[in-house]
């Protein structure tokens, strides 16, 4: 017998021990730990997003404002990279060799196994060339996307723009993933959910090189993408373009509304930018340039500028006076080149005196409306200035001031009408009176009103007492616009009182002694009210609100030209031209158009 | 004629059955691993599974041939075969075809041949021949030297190719030496060598040196049972160390910290030797031998790791040791292998349903990582079946080896067991992440003609010997 035969047990024991260790380890790995299953799944499954084309945006007449153009992202898949003809590659894509090498480095740093975008949005021309030669460049492929395209290149602020989602967007809404597009401003943002459609997905089985090996679970978990819904906006492309042209020399805004519906016909902010600047590969460069521009082309003045209304606000004060019966249309006040009381004076320009209500609107008499406002605040039926003021403010708010109008624009500013406590805090309760707040009589002082609110005032007067909330989308394909846009909002002023204001506004444009003769047109009656907001030490803002024609008005407009001087200098002729363009599609006074386009000021009252 | 019938009745058909089962399982898993829609037939000869069928058929022919060869051929020509293989190993380094950075293959036209696979067989035969030789003095130093020579000469040549995986297989033959009566120390030494190997890579040499010196002093104390002498010995080492340390500090000598103790040891060892010679303390020699051997070993591991191992081999060791853990970098292979096996669950995803192995997430999925396919498609049931089959085969082989009447057959049998066991342990161990990634195949399973044939020859020579176990070989 072999003396060491017992050692077979040791040898056998070692073998069995290893076997047992393996079995235990395998049991843990395969049975107890389920995390490997999900890892394996994500390993071999590639989810390819099927991007949905965004909905189109039309103008009110059916003209396309925004459509899509195919664009292609050149993708890189690091594990499949091979050697390729760099010179040819650079020539096709118009990039330098260094950029290519750096780009590959960036992609590999992002992930050595996952594809990423190598060059964003190559043109269809480049794509055509690239597609043919793609086989020569292993590791590159092309992914189709869509880009926004603007046939007229107008209405940047109204339409808004589309950009890649930010981290914050993704966090807010799990629908979005890195690389998705989202509406960032304007209509694109307000109607993002309608326009974007629904992304789909296709699941593939892939190998380690990310090569597609077949569909995952026979395509049962795939989802087809749904094209975004088209929307019809209320904008009139011709009017919008014309307005942008008129404003070329100015800083300010034009808002035009259809009084009968509240539909926004034009929303012009100047300076603006061409929407096409923010599309494609030029985007990042332009974005930076626009951001540092001292004229602030990003700033949507039509919705967000905070101006004093100036004399246009006299219409509101007049209406409140009529409603509270502190005046009647026949009331006359003297004007001695202004309003003088207790050592305080508010100057006025020269005109006939005394004037009645209608004439004072026509001539924009400061003294008259100081009297009107004094009457409102000293109204004995409220007992105190403070109570009268509260009542006045209640009236003012029903015009849509002091709050957002709740339009379908997301970035609309609210505006400001001070509460009585505002003055209490400054002067102490009971220590302020009409004289303290007299500048409110003529739309100066603490009032803050946006151009769209001003246009809404014009529409309210045009409608003789009510307005529809301004909105920019008329129709959504396969959907309905919000009910709030079909509700009439009546002001607290009886409709009967509006006719006198309309008469005054007619006079301002069409009669001798009117303040706004430059708004006059040939074929119909424009009713308007000038405004001049003082912004010392700078030149006044030129303001004008108007509607036309007088009977059955089709358009209501507000125009602001910053530092443009008196209302009649720029704002009035612009409003007249806009009304004519919209109603007649031709200009009866070419010299007026030429004057505005030239932008050289002529003071001729 | 009578003899061959006689042999057939004596063949251990159980082992043959397990062998056939493993080969069959290997084949269908290779089919699953490289399966693609274009080549659905398992008999498609343009694909690996088709080719493997050819290798299998050839292997069966080889197995039968082995049975036809005269029994005494193996023992008689053991040294000749060994010498032939050594010659081939030298030739392959000089004239071999370089594949993946190693000269491991001969190429004759479309025929590839890997001599290292056959070196295992020849080494087993030579080892069996040597250890079964008449009047072998087990305890003599010369015997140990020859033994180590037989085992590690081919290993060294293979390491030069370099193919560290195959070279390491030979370490397994220590098990044979142990079974044949070499001291338990040989296992302990083998184990210590492995631990030291990893320690040498993990911690710096200076610390290892301090630990080893400490260990030597402790063993000296245990054996001598004398505080006084141990204390004296400690002082003898410590005093020169401190002196040299101070010299280095004063910048009289410019030395690495590592060499301070080494120099101190070099100075003091003659003192110990002289002492041991005078007092006739044999154990001091042993302790010194162990100390110097260990130092030399760690030093060479360090050297080999930094200067001989190629970068990918360094990385493989680093992954296992957790020095570099980077799931998408070099640890990728092990991570993917674990994902594939782990995702199999209880009973797997089903035949041909594995995604990880099929889509190349797992590297070498038909050769070294074939076990991943088993794990992914057949789950825990499949993997445990394979593990149990191997255990059963190895146990069966131990039983067969122990029933041999001739020492040569038994020793050769243990050689077969050791080599199969090493492959089994390291291959499956690496796929489940408890062994370093050493590229060696899973016996009978992995794709490849050379390895399948070599394992078949290795096993069937033993079965041939076993079939004639009643005849005495000398």
What token pair was written down for A131? Answer: 């597609």
**CATH for A54:** 3.90.1310.10
Give the residue, A241 or B108, on which the prediction is more confident. A241
- Calculate mean pLDDT across residues A121-135: 82
Q: Is A40 on the interface with B (CB under 8 A)?
A: yes
- Name which of A21, A23, A207 is nearest B360 (Cβ-Cβ): A207
Q: How far is A16 from chain B (nearest CA, A)?
A: 7
Q: What is the pLDDT of residues A220-248, one digit of tens each?
A: 777 888 889 999 999 999 999 999 999 99
Residues A253 and A168 in one domain: no
Tell me if A462 sits within 8 A of A579, measured CB to CB. Answer: no
Q: Can you tell me which residue has the tokens 């089985």?
A: A205
Which range marks the domain in which residue A82 is found? 50-233
Nearest to A239 by CA among A511, A481, A601, A583: A583
Examine the domain organization and report whether A178 and A261 are in the same domain: no
Domain contains A1: no
| Alpha carbon of residue A184 to chain centroid | 9
Q: What is the mean pLDDT of residues B347-367?
A: 75
Q: Does A128 touch chain B (CB under 8 A)?
A: no
Q: Do A15 and B394 touch (CB under 8 A)?
A: yes
Higher-pLDDT residue of A574, B135? A574
- Distances in Å between the alpha carbon of A51 and those of A146, A195, A295? 8, 13, 36
Calculate the average pLDDT of chain B: 81
Residue B5 has pLDDT above 60, yes or no: no
Our CA-based measurement puts residue A198 at a distance from the nearest CA of chain B, in whole angstroms, of: 30
pLDDT of residue A605: 46
Report yes or no on A494 lying in a domain. Answer: yes
Q: What is the pLDDT averaged over residues B134-142?
A: 78
Both structure tokens of A156: 């940047």
Percent of chain B residues past pLDDT 90, beyond the cut: 29
How high is the ipTM of this complex?
A: 0.81
Residue from the list B181, B358, B379 with its beta carbon closest to the beta carbon of A3: B181
Contact A432, A426 (CB under 8 A): yes
A5 contacts: CB under 8 Å, gap ≥ 6: B402
Among A5, A26, A37, the residue with its CB nearest the CB of B380 is A26
Highest mean pLDDT among B110-114, B130-134, B318-322, B463-467: B463-467
| A36 chain-B contacts, CB cut-off 8 A | 338-339, 341-343
A7 found inside a domain: no
Give the pLDDT band of residue B180 (cuts 50, 70, 90).
Answer: confident
Pick A209 or A228 by higher pLDDT. Answer: A228
Find the range with the poorest average confidence among A110-114, A365-369, B327-331, B411-415: B327-331
Q: How many CB atoms lie within 10 A of CB A295?
A: 11
Q: Can you give the three-state secondary structure of A408-464, one letter per residue? A: CCCCCCCCECCCHHHHHHHHCCCCCCCCCCHHHHHCCCCCEECHHHHHHHHHHHHCC
pLDDT at A543 over 90: yes
Q: Using 50, 70 and 90 to split pLDDT, how confident is the model at B46?
A: confident
Pick A19's closest partner by Cβ from B338, B345, B391.
B391
Kindly state the percentage of chain A with pLDDT values over 90: 50
Rounded distance, CA B12 to CA B402, Å? 14
Say whether pLDDT at A281 is over 70. Answer: yes
In this structure, the answer to whether residues A217 and A243 fall within a common structural domain is no
pLDDT tens digit sequence for A317-370: 999 999 999 999 999 988 888 888 888 888 888 888 889 999 999 999 999 999
- The closest of A80, A87, A55, A81 to A68, measured between CA atoms, is A55
| Residue A594 at interface with chain B, using a CB cutoff of 8 Å | no
Q: Which two tokens stand for residue B357?
A: 């192995």
Chain B hits for A19, Cβ within 8 Å:
387-388, 390-391
With cut-offs at 50, 70 and 90, classify the pLDDT of residue B286: confident
State how far the Cα of A270 lies from the Cα of B152, in Å rounded to an integer. 88
SS3 B346: coil
- If asked whether residues A461 and A537 sit together in one domain, one would say yes
Instruction: Pull the structure tokens for residue B151.
Output: 């085992």
> Exposure string (b/e) for A83-119, b if CB count within 10 Å is 16 or more?
eeeeeebeebbeeeeeebeebeeebeeeeeeebbbbb
Backbone phi and psi for residue B317, each to the nearest 5 degrees, phi listed first = -65, -40
The first and second tokens of residue A358, run together, are 């209608």
Contact B179 A11 (CB under 8 A): yes
Give the β-pairing of A541-548 and A527-533: antiparallel
Cα B73 to chain center, whole Å? 27
Average pLDDT in the A105-129 region? 80
Nearest to B395 among A12, A112, A207 (CB): A12
Q: Which pLDDT value is given to residue B326? A: 45
Residue B236 reports pLDDT greater than 50: yes
Q: So what's the pLDDT on residue B104?
A: 78
Q: Note whether A18 contacts B336, CB cutoff 8 Å.
A: no
pLDDT for B253 equals 67
Say if the Cβ atoms of B398 and A11 lie within 8 Å.
yes
What pLDDT, on a 0 to 100 scale, did the predictor assign at position B308? Answer: 64
Report residue B265's pLDDT band, with 50, 70 and 90 as the boundaries.
confident
Tell me which chain A residue has its CA closest to the CA of residue B426.
Answer: A18
According to the 3-state scheme, what is the secondary structure of B307-358?
HHCCHHHHHHHHHHHCCCCCCCCCCHHHHHHHHHHHCCCCCCCCCCCCCCCC
Q: What is the pLDDT of residues B400-409, one digit of tens each?
A: 999 998 999 9
For residue A13, being part of any structural domain is answered with no
Name B328's Cβ contacts closer than 8 Å, sequence gap at least 6.
A111, A112, A113
Identity of the residue in A18, A30, A113 whose CB atom sits nearest the CB atom of B328: A113
Beta bridge mates, B105: B97
Show Cβ contacts of residue A88 under 8 Å, excluding neighbours closer than 6 positions: A133, A136
Q: Domain tally for chain A?
A: 2
Distance of alpha carbon A289 from alpha carbon A273, whole angstroms: 11
Q: Are A391 and A324 in contact (CB under 8 A)?
A: yes
Compute CA distances A2 → A7, B292, B354, B404, whole Å.
Answer: 10, 35, 50, 11
Distance (Å) from the alpha carbon of A82 to chain B's nearest alpha carbon: 18
Please report where in the chains the tokens 């343009």 appear, as a residue: B46
| Smallest Cα distance from A203 to chain B, Å | 14
Q: Specify if A211 maps to a domain.
A: yes
CB B462 within 8 A of CB B412: yes
The more confident residue out of B6 and A246 is A246
Going A419 to A420 to A421 to A424, the CA torsion angle's sign is positive
Last residue of a domain, one of A200, A233, A266: A233
Look at A30 and B342 and tell me if their CB atoms are within 8 Å. Answer: yes
Strand pairing report for A231-233 and A57-58: parallel
On whether residue A22 sits in a domain, the answer given is no
**Residues A141, A92 share a domain:** yes
- Alpha helices, DSSP H, located in B11-140: 13-34, 48-68, 72-76, 78-95, 115-131
Pair A285, A605: CB distance under 8 Å:
no
Residue A2 forms part of a structural domain: no
Give B432's contacts in chain A (Cβ within 8 Å).
22, 25-26, 29
Residues in a beta bridge with A266: A256
Chain A nearest CA to B398, separation (Å) = 7
C-beta atoms of A30 and B375 within 8 A: yes
Contact across the interface for B338 and A34, Cβ inside 8 Å: no
pLDDT > 60? residue B292: yes
Q: Is A208 on the interface with B (CB under 8 A)?
A: yes
**pLDDT tens-digit profile of A14-56?**
999 999 999 999 999 888 887 777 777 766 667 777 888 899 9
Cβ-based neighbours of B388, under 8 Å, separated by 6 or more:
A19, A23
Nearest to A209 among B343, B346, B360 (CB): B360
d(CA B314, CA B95): 26
Percent of chain B residues past pLDDT 70, beyond the cut = 84
- CATH code, A462: 3.40.710.10
Closest-CA residue of B relative to A28 is B342
Task: State how far residue B363 is from chain A, nearest Cα, in angstroms.
Answer: 10
A3 touches chain B (CB under 8 A): yes
Which residues 438-457 in chain A show a CB within 8 A of chain B? none
How much is the pLDDT for B198?
A: 59
Q: Which residue has the tokens 């008129």?
A: A246
Domain contains A256 = yes
Pair A321, A421 in one domain: yes
> Shortest CB distance from B432 goes to which of A4, A29, A113?
A29
Q: Within this chain, do residues A226 and A268 fall inside the same structural domain, yes or no?
A: no
Q: Do A40 and B425 touch (CB under 8 A)?
A: no
Tokens of A40: 């394996």
CA distance B433 to chain A (A): 9
- pLDDT at residue B360, as a whole number: 66
Considering only the beta carbons, identify the residue of B179, B355, B398 that sits closest to A40.
Answer: B355
| Sign of torsion over alpha carbons B413, B415, B416, B422 | positive
Beta carbon pairs, A and B, within 8 Å: 124
Same domain, A350 and A449: yes
Name the residue among A153, A243, A241, A146 with its Cα closest to residue A196. Answer: A146
- A462 CB burial (10 A radius; 0-12, 13-18, 19+): buried
Q: Which residue of B has its CA nearest to A25?
A: B432
Question: Residue B1 has what pLDDT?
Answer: 44
Q: Do A411 and A553 fall within a single domain?
A: yes
Contact between A491 and A426 (Cβ < 8 Å): no
pLDDT above 80 (res A94): yes
Provide the 8-state DSSP code for A264. E
Q: What is the pLDDT of residue B159?
A: 77
The 10s digit of each residue's pLDDT in A255-277 is 999 999 999 999 999 899 999 99
Distance from the B387 Cα atom to the nearest Cα atom in chain A, whole angstroms: 6
What distance lies between CA B233 and its chain's CA centroid?
38
Structure confidence at residue B316 (pLDDT): 54
pLDDT greater at residue A261 or residue B143:
A261
CA of residue A216 relative to chain centroid, distance: 43
State the residue for tokens 């803050």.
A448
Note the residue count of chain B: 474
Task: List CB contacts of B301: < 8 A, sequence separation 6 or more.
Answer: B196, B197, B200, B201
Q: Is B26 helix (H, G, I), strand (E, B) or coil?
A: helix
What count of Cα atoms within 13 Å lies in the side-chain half-sphere of residue A350?
1
When the pLDDT of each residue in chain A is averaged and rounded to a whole number, the result is: 88
Confidence check: pLDDT of B166 > 90: no
How many Å lie between the alpha carbon of B131 and the closest alpha carbon of chain A?
13
Question: What residues does each domain of chain B span?
Answer: 2-17+24-200+313-467, 203-308
d(CA A225, CA A228): 9
Record: contact A39-B417, CB cut-off 8 A = no
Contact A37 B402 (CB under 8 A): no
Residues A192 and A267 in one domain: no
Question: Hey, are the CB atoms on B361 and A207 less than 8 Å from each other?
Answer: yes
**B359 with A15: Cβ contact below 8 A:** no
Minimum mean pLDDT range among A415-429, A556-570, B42-56, B347-361: B347-361
In a shared domain, residues A191 and A250: no
* Residue A21 sits at the chain B interface (C-beta within 8 Å): yes
Is A5 strand, coil or helix?
coil
The pLDDT of residue B263: 77
The shortest CB-CB distance from A30 to any of B345, B410, B417 is to B345
CB A442 within 8 A of CB A245: no
**Distance between the two ends of chain B, CA-based, in angstroms?**
24
Interface residue of B343, B356, B393, B442 to substitute, partner A, most A CBs within 10 Å: B343
Cβ partners under 8 Å of residue A462, min gap 6: A259, A502, A527, A547, A553, A556
Element containing residue A560 per DSSP (H, E) = strand A555-561
For helices A35-44 and B332-342, give the axis angle rounded to 10 degrees: 110
Which tokens go with A89? 């590659």
Q: What gap in Å lies between CA B427 and CA B337, rounded to an integer?
A: 12
Q: For residue A271, is the peptide bond before it cis, meaning its omega torsion is within 30 degrees of 0?
A: yes
Banded pLDDT at B349 (limits 50, 70, 90): confident
Query: Are both A203 and A306 inside the same structural domain?
Result: no
Residues B52-71 have a mean pLDDT of: 91
């Amino acid at each position: 017998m072999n003396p060491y035969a017992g050692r077979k047990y040791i040898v056998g024991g070692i073998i069995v021990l290893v076997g047992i260790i393996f079995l235990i380890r395998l049991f843990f790995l395969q049975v107890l730990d389920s995390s490997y299953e999900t890892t394996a799944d994500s390993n071999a499954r590639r989810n390819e997003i099927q991007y949905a084309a965004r909905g189109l945006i039309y103008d009110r007449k059916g003209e396309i404002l925004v459509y899509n153009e195919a664009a292609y992202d050149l993708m890189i898949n690091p594990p499949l990279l091979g050697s390729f003809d760099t010179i040819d590659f650079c020539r096709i894509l118009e990039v330098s060799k260094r950029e290519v090498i750096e780009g590959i480095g960036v992609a590999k740093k992002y992930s050595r196994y996952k594809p990423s975008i190598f060059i964003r949005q190559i043109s269809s021309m480049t794509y055509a060339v690239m597609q043919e030669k793609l086989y020569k460049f292993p590791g590159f492929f092309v992914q189709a996307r869509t880009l926004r395209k603007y046939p007229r290149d107008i209405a940047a602020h109204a339409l808004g723009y589309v950009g890649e989602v930010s981290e914050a967007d993704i966090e807010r809404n799990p629908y979005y993933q890195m690389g998705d597009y989202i509406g960032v401003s304007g209509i694109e943002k307000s109607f993002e959910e309608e326009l974007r459609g629904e992304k789909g997905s296709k699941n593939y089985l892939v190998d380690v090189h990310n090569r597609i090996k077949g569909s995952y679970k026979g395509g049962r978990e795939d989802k087809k993408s749904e094209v975004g819904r088209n929307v019809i906006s209320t904008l009139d492309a011709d009017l919008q373009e014309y307005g942008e042209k008129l404003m070329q020399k100015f800083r300010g805004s034009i808002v035009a509304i259809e009084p009968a519906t509240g539909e926004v016909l034009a929303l012009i902010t100047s300076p603006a930018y061409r929407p096409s600047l923010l599309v494609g590969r030029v985007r990042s460069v332009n974005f930076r340039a626009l951001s540092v521009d001292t004229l602030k082309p990003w700033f949507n003045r039509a919705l967000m500028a905070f101006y004093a209304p100036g004399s246009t606000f006299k219409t509101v004060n007049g209406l409140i006076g009529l409603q509270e019966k502190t005046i009647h249309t026949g009331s006359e006040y003297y004007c001695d080149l202004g309003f003088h009381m207790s050592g305080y004076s508010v100057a006025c320009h020269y005109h006939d005196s005394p004037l009645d209500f209608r004439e004072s609107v026509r001539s924009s008499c400061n003294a008259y409306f100081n009297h009107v406002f004094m009457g409102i605040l000293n109204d004995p039926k409220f007992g105190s200035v403070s109570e009268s003021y509260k009542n006045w403010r209640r009236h003012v708010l029903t015009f849509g001031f002091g709050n957002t109008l709740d339009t379908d624009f997301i970035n609309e500013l609210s505006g400001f009408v001070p509460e009585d406590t505002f003055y209490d805090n400054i002067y102490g309760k009971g220590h302020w009176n009409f004289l303290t707040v007299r500048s409110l009589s003529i739309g100066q002082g603490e009032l803050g009103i946006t151009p769209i609110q001003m246009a809404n005032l014009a529409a309210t007067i045009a409608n003789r007492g009510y307005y529809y909330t301004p909105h920019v989308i008329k129709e959504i394909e396969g959907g309905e616009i919000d009910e709030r846009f079909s509700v009439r909002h009546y002001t607290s002023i009886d409709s009967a009182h509006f006719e006198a204001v309309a008469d005054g506004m007619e006079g301002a444009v069409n009669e001798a002694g009117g303040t706004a003769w430059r708004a006059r047109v040939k074929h119909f009656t424009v009713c308007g009210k000038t405004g001049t907001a003082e912004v010392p030490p700078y030149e006044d803002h030129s303001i004008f609100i108007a509607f036309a024609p007088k009977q059955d008005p089709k358009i209501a407009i507000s125009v602001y030209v910053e530092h443009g001087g008196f209302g009649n200098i720029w704002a009035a002729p612009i409003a007249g031209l806009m009304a004519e363009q919209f109603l007649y599609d031709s200009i009866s006074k070419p010299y007026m158009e030429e004057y505005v386009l030239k932008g050289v000021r002529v003071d001729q009252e | 004629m009578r003899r061959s019938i006689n042999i057939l009745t004596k063949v251990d058909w159980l082992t043959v059955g397990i062998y056939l089962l493993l080969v069959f399982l290997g084949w269908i898993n290779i089919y699953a691993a490289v399966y693609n829609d274009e080549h659905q037939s398992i008999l498609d000869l343009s694909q690996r599974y088709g080719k493997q069928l050819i290798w299998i058929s050839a292997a069966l022919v080889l197995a039968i041939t082995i049975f036809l060869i005269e029994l005494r051929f193996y023992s008689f020509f053991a040294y000749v075969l060994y010498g032939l293989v050594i010659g081939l190993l030298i030739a392959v380094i000089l004239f071999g075809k370089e594949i993946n950075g190693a000269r491991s293959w001969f190429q004759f036209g479309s025929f590839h041949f890997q001599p290292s696979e056959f070196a295992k067989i020849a080494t087993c035969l030579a080892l069996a021949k040597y250890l079964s030789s008449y009047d072998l003095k087990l305890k003599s130093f010369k015997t140990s030297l020859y033994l180590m020579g037989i085992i590690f000469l081919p290993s060294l040549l293979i390491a030069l190719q370099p193919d560290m995986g195959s070279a390491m297989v030979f370490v397994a033959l220590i098990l044979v030496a142990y079974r044949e009566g070499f001291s338990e120390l040989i296992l302990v030494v083998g184990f210590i060598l492995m631990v030291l190997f990893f320690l040498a890579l993990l911690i710096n040499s200076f610390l290892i040196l301090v630990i080893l010196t400490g260990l030597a002093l402790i063993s000296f104390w245990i054996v001598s049972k004398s505080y006084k002498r141990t204390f004296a010995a400690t002082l003898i080492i410590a005093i020169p160390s401190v002196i040299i340390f101070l010299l280095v500090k004063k910048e009289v000598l410019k030395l690495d910290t590592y060499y301070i103790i080494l120099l101190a040891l070099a100075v003091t060892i003659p003192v110990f030797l002289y002492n041991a010679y005078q007092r006739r303390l044999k154990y001091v020699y042993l302790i010194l031998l162990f100390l110097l051997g260990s130092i030399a070993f760690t030093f060479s591991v360090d050297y080999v790791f930094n200067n001989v191992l190629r970068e990918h081999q360094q990385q493989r060791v680093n992954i296992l040791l957790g020095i570099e853990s980077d799931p998408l970098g070099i640890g990728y292979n092990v991570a993917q292998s674990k994902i594939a096996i782990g995702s199999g669950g209880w009973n797997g995803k089903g035949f041909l349903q594995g995604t990880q192995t099929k889509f190349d997430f797992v590297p070498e999925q038909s050769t070294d990582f074939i076990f991943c396919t088993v794990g992914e498609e057949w789950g825990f049931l499949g993997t445990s079946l394979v593990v149990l089959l191997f255990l059963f085969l190895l146990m069966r082989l131990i039983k067969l080896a122990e029933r041999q009447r001739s020492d040569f057959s038994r020793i050769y049998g243990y050689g077969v067991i050791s080599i199969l066991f090493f492959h089994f342990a390291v291959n499956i161990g690496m796929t489940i992440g408890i062994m370093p990634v050493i590229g060696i195949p899973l016996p009978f399973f992995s794709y490849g003609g050379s390895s399948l044939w070599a394992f078949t020859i290795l096993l069937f020579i033993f079965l041939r010997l076993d079939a004639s176990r009643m005849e005495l070989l000398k």
